[in-house]
Structure 1
Amino acid sequence: MNAPAEIHDRPIGDLIRDARNLSAAEVEKVLSFQRQHGVRFGEAAIALGLASPDDVLNALAQQFHYPLATAERRLASPELVTLLQPFSVQAEAVRATRSQLTMRWNRPDQPRQALAVISPGSGDGKTYFAANLAVSLAQLGGRTLLVDADLRSPRQHEVFKVSNSAGLSSLLSGRTESQVIQAIEGVPGLFVLPSGPLPPNPLELIERPAFGLLVRELVSKFDHVVLDTAAAAHGADASVVAGKCGAAIVLARKGQNRVDALQDLVAGLAGSSAQLLGAIVNEF
């Protein structure tokens, strides 16, 4: 007896047929349209009104063993394009960046490092990029942790819809003993450490030895650790975080950041132990 086929071994037509409970006559209608117009099964089913774009997307996600956001998540977390629109131009750009990063970051011949995402100003897209990079890393397998180290205007808890009653600031100030790292439902292997309550002394907290010790502990427990940071315009937080992480990537927004601000940020890293892995221009 043959073993049942895995989901990712099944044709997309079978997945759409089962999801929409298509009859044999409807399947034949789709196949006839497909042959006549030279299109894919999914495109034919959509054209005939027998499937929706979401049906096709879900089938593709199953076929390629790719996590996809639920309908509830799509409404709640529209910024997570790697989950909402995994085959979009934006998601593909994140995956391309991931590929470039993984060739330079945590190579076998180097000590393991965390990665700080830094940028000159607010609204550059650090939170968006860090969140989607973390999702894309988790989609490779293994364990990925996203840390919201922006202790001035944090947003990762909003993006992932997790509690922010305790987090990084709580750990660094010794004010929590509870579990503050939260698993993200629907994305196997992805965890988020939110910022926690806004402290009055954010820079002092991350300058403490405890922060460096925490980063090293997290790096030992997760395959990838990504840190979102405060905008460099608000202080030296980003440079300090990058130095504790050991690796950083700079993000700039097209038509928004000044070249001198970007140069100052990169120059600030020169005196730290952080390895600059590259720079990204956010065009979205």
Structure 2
Amino acid sequence: MATFRDASAAAPHLHPVPNPVEDVKPTAVHDRPIGDIIRRKKNLSAEQVDQVLQFQREKGVRFGEAVVALGLASDDDVMFALSQQFHYPYAPDDRRQLGSELVTATQPFSHQAEAFRAIRSQLMMRVFTNDEPRRALAIISPDSGDGKTFFSANLAVVLSQLGGRTLLVDADLRGPRQHEVFELDSSSGLSGILSGRAETNVIKHVPNLPSLFVLPVGITPPNPSELVERPAFGLLMRELLTKFDHVIVDTPAAVYGSDATVIAAKCGSALVVARQGKSKVSRLQDLVATISGSPAKLAGVIMNEH
């Protein structure tokens, strides 16, 4: 799906903003036997469970193998049960609810999902370390259509699958899409907070992914540049970093103005996404140079190959 390129720099202060994070708590995941998970998921009757257990004893196989052999569940059902047992949330039966772009949630064992996990590992070593100040990570790109929203959403999913509380902030105040990707209500959100309106319950929990939350844009404002330039944005980022283990921020493409670089500076770190065969080298170089000369730490460059 993508390749990771290297890079490096530091971070920024000011005015109280409403606390949008009241009591957002993930649903606890409980340890249960795999047989119980499959039984509940497939609504198996007591007779069917006895049939599975008898087959299991006769053939000397695991419950999952027995239930699949008897045609009472699929391999995907067993994989889902295992993911629950090992606290690895994903939603194979909820593709329509979570959207086809969320490959890391709906196809967690695919090549693309594995590529996101590899990138996550790099970021855990470069950005989300214990020996450096905590930073939010802005995902930026030179042009629209580079896959930045797709990348931000899936990166947030794989970070949440580590078990830490992860927040995806849609700061693309020009063309927000994260609420569409996750199919969430966007009647209120970031724009309301930055414009000084007292917004509540703006952070949405993502169903089926217990550790993942999304802060949508809300109403698309007429003055996006001015809103992200305000001290309130930096203050909000610092507040969110006290509530969440990882904060990922989607941004407008750099072609639309300086929003992305301003946001990156206030987040403290940035990751550049470009599309192979589409992004212009000159624009990519200009964006990397701008970030390198800003207070943001440049974590690297992702070349989107799709």
State the TM-score bracket (shorter-chain normalisation): 0.7 to 0.9
8 Å CA contact 1:34–1:41 kept in 2: the answer is: no
Gaps of 5+ in 1: none
TM-score (norm 2): 0.79
Secondary structure of the corresponding residue to residue 97 of structure 1: helix
Deviation of 1:63 after TM superposition, in Å, equals 3.2
Give yes or no for the alignment of 1:229 onto 2:229.
Answer: no
Aligned pairs (5 A) from 1:270-281:
270-281=292-303
Give yes or no for the alignment of 1:110 onto 2:135.
Answer: no
| Range 23-32 or range 121-130, more displaced | 23-32
Give yes or no for the alignment of 1:136 onto 2:138.
Answer: no
Q: Which has the higher contact order (CA 8 A, sep 6+)?
A: 2
Give yes or no for the alignment of 1:100 onto 2:122.
Answer: yes
Secondary structure of the corresponding residue to residue 115 of structure 1: strand
Deviation of 1:45 after TM superposition, in Å, equals 6.4
**How far apart in 2 are the matches of 1:173 and 1:157?**
19
- Which of 67, 76, 80 is equivalent to 1:58? 80
Secondary structure of the corresponding residue to residue 266 of structure 1: helix
Task: Indicate the residue corresponding to 1:266 in structure 2.
Answer: 288
Secondary structure of the corresponding residue to residue 213 of structure 2: strand
TM-score (norm 1): 0.85
Deviation of 1:70 after TM superposition, in Å, equals 6.5
**What percent identity do the matched residue pairs reach?**
60
Quickly say closer, same or farther: Cα 1:113–1:32, change in 2 above 3 A. same
Larger fraction in helix = 1
Aligned positions, number: 272
For residues 184-235 of structure 1, what are the alpha-carbon distances to aligned partners after superposition, in whole Å with 9 as ceiling and x for unaligned? 2221122111111111111111111111111111112211111000011111
**How far apart in 1 are the matches of 2:104 and 2:160?**
11
Gaps of 5+ in 2: 1-29
Task: Indicate the residue corresponding to 2:195 in structure 1.
Answer: 173
**How far apart in 1 are the matches of 2:302 and 2:225?**
25
Deviation of 1:166 after TM superposition, in Å, equals 1.3
Structure 1 counterpart of 2:274, one-letter code: A
Deviation of 1:101 after TM superposition, in Å, equals 0.2
Task: Indicate the residue corresponding to 2:231 in structure 1.
Answer: 209
Secondary structure of the corresponding residue to residue 243 of structure 1: helix
Task: Indicate the residue corresponding to 1:74 in structure 2.
Answer: 95
**How far apart in 2 are the matches of 1:227 and 1:187?**
18
